[in-house]
Amino acid sequence: MDEIFKQQVYEVARLIPKGRVSTYGAIAKAVGYPNHSRHVGKAMGGCPKNVPAHRVISSSGVLSVPEFQSKLEKEGIVVENLRIKNFKKLFWDPLAEL
């Protein structure tokens, strides 16, 4: 995977505010690769510790990594059955908010 792509993904993910979530697809669009959400997921799998990977979820509002539930709950996000409650309200769209 291209290192520049990964760094762009990490930069966008670092901008997600606490208490909000974004999606693999939204980040892919923000870095100019709208059909590469799986690549974003792969990049997030090996991201540095200073990247809040727990704030990046699937477009359906479901956690891809169940272990991230506790981190999200510490930020005030309610998770039920691995699904973000009020997902549309908490969704952070980098293209709209940057």
Q: For residue range 28-37, what is the model confidence (pLDDT) as tens digits?
A: 999 999 999 9
Q: Does pLDDT of 1 surpass 80?
A: no
Q: Does pLDDT of 97 surpass 90?
A: no
Q: Which fold has domain 3-89?
A: Arc Repressor Mutant, subunit A (1.10.10)
Mean pLDDT of the residues in the chain = 96
In this predicted structure, what is the pLDDT of residue 90? 97
d(CA 60, CA 51): 22
Task: Over range 7-27, report the average pLDDT.
Answer: 97
pTM of the predicted model as reported, rounded to 2 decimal places: 0.94
Q: Does pLDDT of 98 surpass 90?
A: no
